[in-house]
C-alpha cells in the first residue's frame, strides 16, 4: 500500500511513472513511480525536509551509471536537476552535483588544471562520483576533494572539507539521506597538452579493456582486498555466461552487459550465478560495487 505524499513534497518539480530503462545506463528496471527533480538547492531542501518530517523513506539517483534496479520503485526518488555550473577560483574548480562527471574532467583538462585526469572515463554525475568516491588507475576522488556541500538527512545545509573516515575505497558517508549538492576540487596548474595526453591514455586503456560500446553499469562487484573481481570471475570460466540478453562481458568479466532486451530479473539471476560460482571456485564472497534497488511494492524500503 502506498502512502499519500505530503503537499509540501508535491510542490517540488516531479514526474510520474518514468521507466528506469531511461534513467540508468544498464537500461533495466521497472517504473520510478515518483521522480522528484529539484532545480534549486532550496527545492532539494524542501524535498528532504518534507520526507524527514513525515518519516518517509526515499532514494537518491544520480546519472544512473552505477545502479541496477530490480523492479518498480514506489518510494520517492530524488534526482537533482540543478544548473550544471563550474566555477574556477585559483586552482580550484567548484561544480554542482548535477554536472556530468566526464564533462567536468574535460573542463579541467581544457583550462590546464591537472588532477582529474583519472576521472575522464568514469560516467555519471559529479554527485554520484563523490558519493561513491569513484576512482580509476590508482586515483580516487577524495585525493582531490577540497570541500563539499550537502544536505543532512534533516534537510540542513552543510559545507565542509573532507575529514578522515568520511571516504574510503568506493564508499563515502554521503548515504543514508545525505545529498551532495556541489563539490570543489583542488587541482594543480599543468601543461594542457600533457594533461590531454594523460586523458587520452586513460581513455584508451578503458576502451580496450572494458565493453564501453554496450549498455553496462561499470564494474558490478568490488575488488576483494588484494584481489581482482574481474580476474576471479574470468578464471572461474564465466565470461560469456548469458541469461537472455544479460551477459558476463567477454571483454571484462566484472562487467555485465545488456544486449538490448535484458530484464531486471535476468540481471539479478546472472549476478547470483556469478557470486555462487566464484564462491564455489575461489571461496570468495563477491560484494556488489553497483547499488542495487530491489522491487519495492509497499514503499517500505529505507534505502537511499
Ligand atoms: N582481469 C582478468 N580478466 C578480466 C578482467 C580483468 O584477468 O576479465 C585482470 C586484468 O588482466 C588485471 C586485473 O584483472 O590484471 C585488474 O583488471 P583491470 O586493470 O581491468 O582493473 P579492475 O580492478 O578490474 C578497476 C576498477 C575500474 C577501473 C579500473 C581501471 C573496481 C571494482 N574496478 O578495475 O572501475 O575502471 O580499475 O582503473 O575497482 C568501476 O568502478 O565501475 C570500474 C569499472
DSSP string, 130-172: HHTT-EETTEEGGGTEEEEEEE-TTS-EEEE---TTSEETTEE
Residue 301 has pLDDT above 80, yes or no: no
Nearest CA to ligand 1 atom 33: 219
Gap between the Cα atoms of 144 and 112, Å rounded: 15
Q: What is the pLDDT of residues 2-23, one digit of tens each?
A: 678 999 999 999 999 999 999 9
| 106 within domain boundaries | yes
Residues 126 and 157 in one domain: yes
CB-based contact 9:50 (threshold 8 Å): yes
CA angle, corner 63, sides to 186 and 28, nearest 5?
150
Gap between the Cα atoms of 128 and 25, Å rounded: 13
Q: Is the pTM of this model over 0.95?
A: no
Residue 262 has pLDDT above 90, yes or no: yes
Helix (H) or strand (E) holding 113: strand 113-114
Averaged pLDDT of the chain? 94
pLDDT for the residue 302: 37
Residues spanned by the domain of 110: 86-198
CA distances from 12 to 50, 78, 131, 188 (A): 10, 10, 23, 39
Residue 235 has pLDDT above 60, yes or no: yes
Q: What is the pLDDT of residues 137-183, one digit of tens each?
A: 899 999 999 999 999 999 999 999 999 999 999 999 999 899 999 99
Residues 98 and 182 in one domain: yes
Q: Looking at the 3D structure of the chain, how many domains does it have?
A: 3
From 220, 221, 228, 237, mutation site for ligand 1 pocket: most ligand atoms within 8 A of C-beta: 228
| 20 within domain boundaries | yes
Instruction: Give the CATH number of the domain where residue 232 resides.
Output: 3.90.78.10
Q: What is the pLDDT of residues 24-72, one digit of tens each?
A: 999 999 999 999 999 999 999 999 999 999 999 999 999 999 999 988 9
Determine phi and psi for 182, rounding to 5 degrees: -160, 165
**Strand pairing partners for 86?**
95
**Strand pairing partners for 151?**
157, 179
Residue 300 has pLDDT above 90, yes or no: no
pLDDT band for 199, please (50, 70, 90 cuts).
Answer: very high
Residue 228 has pLDDT above 50, yes or no: yes
From 124, 138, 219, mutation site for ligand 1 pocket: most ligand atoms within 8 A of C-beta: 219
Residue 188 has pLDDT above 60, yes or no: yes
Establish whether residue 171 lines the binding site of ligand 1, counting it when its CB lies within 6 angstroms of any ligand atom: no
Residues 250 and 163 in one domain: no
| 97 within domain boundaries | yes
Instruction: Give the CATH number of the domain where residue 112 resides.
Output: 3.30.465.10
| 294 within domain boundaries | no
Residue 304 has pLDDT above 90, yes or no: no
- Provide the greatest CA pair distance for the chain: 58
Of 81, 99, 127, the last residue of a domain is 81
pLDDT for the residue 110: 93
pLDDT for the residue 143: 98
For residue 221, which atom of ligand 1 is closest to its CA? 32
Residues 93 and 176 in one domain: yes
For residue 205, which atom of ligand 1 is closest to its CA? 30
pLDDT for the residue 294: 84
Residues 140 and 183 in one domain: yes
| 206 within domain boundaries | no
pLDDT for the residue 127: 97
| 182 within domain boundaries | yes
Establish whether residue 147 lines the binding site of ligand 1, counting it when its CB lies within 6 angstroms of any ligand atom: no
CB-based contact 284:232 (threshold 8 Å): yes
Residues 144 and 166 in one domain: yes
Classify strands 59-60 and 256-258 as parallel, antiparallel or unpaired.
unpaired
pLDDT for the residue 296: 56
Torsion of CA 140, 70, 212, 107, to 10 degrees: -50
The number of helices, as runs of H, and strands, as runs of E, in the chain is 7, 21
| 301 within domain boundaries | no
d(CA 228, ligand 1 centre) in Å: 7
Residues 117 and 164 in one domain: yes
Name the one residue in this structure whose C-alpha cell is 572515463: 121
Residues 189 and 249 in one domain: no
Q: What is the pLDDT of residues 96-113, one digit of tens each?
A: 999 999 999 999 999 999
Amino acid at each position: 500500500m502506498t502512502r499519500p505524499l505530503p503537499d509540501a513534497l508535491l510542490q517540488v518539480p516531479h514526474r510520474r511513472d518514468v521507466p528506469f530503462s531511461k534513467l540508468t545506463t544498464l537500461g533495466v528496471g521497472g517504473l520510478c513511480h515518483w521522480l522528484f527533480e529539484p532545480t534549486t538547492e532550496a527545492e532539494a531542501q524542501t524535498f528532504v525536509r518534507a520526507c524527514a518530517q513525515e518519516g518517509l523513506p526515499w532514494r537518491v539517483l544520480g546519472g544512473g551509471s552505477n545502479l541496477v534496479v530490480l523492479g518498480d520503485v514506489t518510494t520517492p526518488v530524488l534526482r537533482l536537476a540543478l544548473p550544471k555550473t563550474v566555477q574556477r577560483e585559483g586552482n580550484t574548480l567548484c561544480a554542482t552535483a548535477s554536472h556530468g562527471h566526464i564533462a567536468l574532467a574535460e573542463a579541467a583538462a581544457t583550462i590546464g588544471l591537472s588532477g582529474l585526469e583519472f576521472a575522464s572515463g568514469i560516467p555519471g554525475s559529479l554527485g554520484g562520483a563523490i558519493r561513491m568516491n569513484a576512482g580509476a588507475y590508482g586515483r580516487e576522488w577524495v585525493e582531490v576533494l577540497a570541500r563539499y556541500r550537502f544536505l543532512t538527512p534533516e534537510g540542513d545545509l552543510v559545507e565542509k572539507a573532507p575529514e578522515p573516515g568520511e571516504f574510503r575505497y568506493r564508499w563515502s558517508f554521503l548515504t543514508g539521506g545525505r545529498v551532495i549538492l556541489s563539490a570543489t576540487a583542488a587541482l594543480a596548474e599543468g601543461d594542457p597538452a600533457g594533461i590531454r595526453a594523460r586523458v587520452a591514455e586513460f581513455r584508451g586503456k578503458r576502451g580496450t579493456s572494458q565493453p564501453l560500446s554496450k549498455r553496462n553499469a561499470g564494474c558490478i562487484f568490488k575488488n576483494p582486498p588484494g584481489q581482482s573481481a574481474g580476474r576471479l570471475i574470468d578464471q572461474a570460466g564465466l565470461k560469456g555466461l548469458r541469461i537472455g540478453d544479460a551477459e558476463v562481458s567477454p571483454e571484462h568479466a566484472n562487467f555485465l552487459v545488456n544486449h538490448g532486451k535484458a530484464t531486471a530479473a535476468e540481471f539479478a539471476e546472472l549476478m547470483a550465478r556469478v557470486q555462487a560460482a566464484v564462491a564455489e571456485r575461489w571461496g570468495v564472497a563477491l560484494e556488489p560495487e553497483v547499488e542495487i534497488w530491489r522491487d519495492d511494492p509497499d514503499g517500505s524500503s529505507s534505502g537511499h
